[in-house]
Amino acid sequence: MNEPHPITINAGTDRADCLRMDADDPLAPMRDRFHLPESLLYFDGNSLGPLPHGARERLHRTIDQQWGDDLVSSWNEHDWIGLPRAVGAKVAPLIGAEADEVVVCDSVSVNLFKLLAAALRLRPGRRTVLCQADHFPTDLYIAQGLVELLGGDVELRTAPVDGLAEGLADALDESVAVVSLGHVDFRSGRLLDMAALTAAVHDHGALVLWDLSHSAGALPVELGACGADLAVGCGYKFLNGGPGAPSFLYVARRHQEQARNPLAGWLGHRNPFAFSADYEPAPGVDRFVCGTPPILALSALDAALELWQDVDLELVRRKSKMLGDLFLALVVDRCAPWMGPLELACDTDADARGSQVCLRHPQGHAIVRALIEKGVVGDFRAPDILRFGLCPLYLRHVDAWDAVAILREVLETGLYRHERFQQRQKVT
Ligand SMILES: *Cc1c(COP(=O)(O)O)cnc(C)c1O
């Protein structure tokens, strides 16, 4: 955490003030576009975004009319074959990319593999992959697996990324081919300076691979303006594409013709239906598709992305910062007697945060479970982080008020100490 930053919401804020903020909120109408269970305060859209009504309708149509009636002709008739690129084109404006720089396919993990391997080939002679030390586990594991596969020839290095780039600068040298960074940290919510870090990496002649899983749809992202090389991101978090939604993958246009997909599947071939024996990459970003696209999942994500056509990302960012400041101010104010064991675990400067707030408590897991029983859905990240995702398309300011009121109640009554909250579930 950086220097403590004064929280801008004043401590006298009450529930009526929150209701007034909701009445003035230009994003308020977006809430009606989602299916949200009446009794839930949903602060976990950064783990699984809720169901957009449009996605449900689209899935029904895709199943009944396309799969059901039109069957295999749908590949042409409904352009199923073009869906990875069409959905990529809808993601593009959310991440500051051009439509022909993004394709949607596979999971984030698989796309990380593809792009790290491609990056090594784009920087021949350089044999180091550099990852931020506290990167999301899959980002680290995939890099470990790739390095292991390449058998001693390639080295994996990790470095802390504090504040701007201090730790990274020490680890960057002429051997580094690619630097893998998370734009927003999944635990603390820390937001990295994409422009400054990309420039620092380029100064050493390396490429940068950004993981946008916690920033796409949460805040404006400017891959193109920052000069980023490669990126991946998640379809089922802030993009609300549904459980297991495919991931997006970005390759800057200037790298596309040299970049090679190590998973050279037939649908990344220049002419899949020539059924030729030799692989020849498709032009542009299309070569990063591997096998047959999951049409149902892509259709749901495609429909979910339509929501953004009516949304100004600057407004999303402004409201997200407001919700975060409000939540933290209410915790400091209304949970004051329990501060000590309870701590703020994110930056109090909204500009340094993505779209989540975090607290820390030795009994964090039990408290999260108790909150869920009371209808406040956040999540727990080991070892002691209580994480609350802030999704401005459907969360209200009054939801922050009510969530903190319930947190206060859980702490005050000690409800979380009950035995039923002690057991860890498979998914936290
Ligand atoms: C959610 C998330 C992933 C998810 O990877 P999958 O392969 O799609 O399960 C990867 N990286 C980060 C940073 C994430 O937050």
Residue 182 Cβ < 6 Å to ligand 1: yes
Q: Based on the residue annotation, tell me whether 334 is a catalytic residue of this protein.
A: no
Burial (CB < 10 A; 0-12, 13-18, 19+), residue 298, is: buried
Distance CA 104, CA 239 (A): 12
Whether ligand 1 lies within 6 angstroms of the CB of 249 is answered as: no
Closest C-alpha to ligand 1, atom 10: 108
State yes or no: is 426 an active-site residue: no
211 catalytic residue (yes or no): yes
The active-site residue out of 42, 43, 186, 236 is: 236
| CA–CA distance, 59 with 300 (Å, rounded to integer) | 6
Q: What is the pLDDT of residue 428?
A: 79
- Does residue 261 contact residue 115 with C-beta atoms inside 8 Å? no
Residues 6+ apart with CB under 8 A from 284: 100, 253, 256, 257
Return the closest-CA partner of residue 388 out of 364, 411, 363, 412: 364
**Separation of alpha carbons 38 and 256, rounded Å:** 46
Q: Under a CB-based contact definition with an 8 Å cutoff, are residues 263 and 109 in contact? A: no
Given strand 207-211, what is the order of strands in its sheet? 102-104, 248-251, 230-233, 207-211, 176-182, 128-132, 155-159
Ligand 1 centre distance from Cα of residue 304 (Å): 19
* 374 is an active site residue: no
Whole-prediction pTM: 0.96
Residue 288: active-site member: no
Q: Is 134 in the pocket of ligand 1 (CB under 6 A)?
A: no
pLDDT at 310: 85
Residue 96 CA to ligand 1 center (angstroms) comes to 20
For the segment 381-392, what is each residue's pLDDT rounded down to a tens digit? 999 999 999 999
Torsions phi, psi of 90, nearest 5?
A: -80, -30
Half-sphere exposure of 158 (CA within 13 A, CB side): 14
Long-range contact list for 95-98, CB < 8 A, 24+ apart?
95/212, 95/216, 95/221, 95/223, 95/231, 95/233, 95/248, 95/250, 96/220, 96/221, 96/222, 96/223, 96/224, 96/225, 96/226, 97/223, 97/224, 97/231, 97/250, 98/224, 98/253
Express each pLDDT in 200-244 by its tens digit: 999 999 999 999 999 999 999 999 999 999 999 999 999 999 999
Name which of 90, 103, 102 is nearest 307 in CA terms: 90
Compute the chain's Rg from CA coordinates: 22
Tell which atom from ligand 1 comes closest to the C-alpha of 211: 13
* The pLDDT of residue 2: 46
Nearest atom, ligand 1, residue 237 CA: 1
Which residues of the chain fall short of a pLDDT of 70?
1-12, 162-166
Q: How far, in Å, is the centroid of ligand 1 from the Cα of 180?
A: 13
